[in-house]
Amino acid sequence: MALKEKVKRKSLDLAKKLDIIKKSAVTSKHQLAKDFNLPTVTIRNVLNNRENILQALEEGKNPKCKRMKPPQSPILEASLLNWIGNMLEVWPDDAIEELVQHEPIEYEPMGNELPFEVDSLVNEPEDYSAFEYLID
């Protein structure tokens, strides 16, 4: 008796789930499973969650989203989105472009020697000249 080959799990995005829902009106579940190369259980789950999927898309969820899990801290999420929106209004566009287009700093390998004493990391150094290579 041959063992069934284990099928790798696939995460479907909302766009593909919506496509399955639309085609389910004229196609059987078994035919949908063949067309999308998915198990019939997955097709059934998508069709059983039809209302949640359609509601998520109506609320503006990204169609490329694969999970509809809400944030663990909705208050923090809303505050963060609000802060980002405020910062985008306050910052001039050229400052944002400069941040995005900033070239990464290239560091030369130092070998095994550090340009500062390890004790200076424990106690605040009086002279910051050893850290000049970090400052742009």
Q: In whole angstroms, what is the distance from residue 1 CA to residue 96 CA?
A: 63
What pTM does this model have?
A: 0.53
Structure tokens, 11: 């995460």
Tell me how far apart the alpha carbons of residues 53 and 61 are, in angstroms, rounded to a whole number.
9
Q: What's the pLDDT at 99?
A: 67
Q: Residue ranges of the chain with pLDDT lower than 70?
A: 1-4, 7, 95-96, 98-136
- Interior/surface letters 2-22, b for 16+ CB within 10 angstroms, e for the rest: eeeeeeeeeebebebbbbbbe
pLDDT at 53: 93
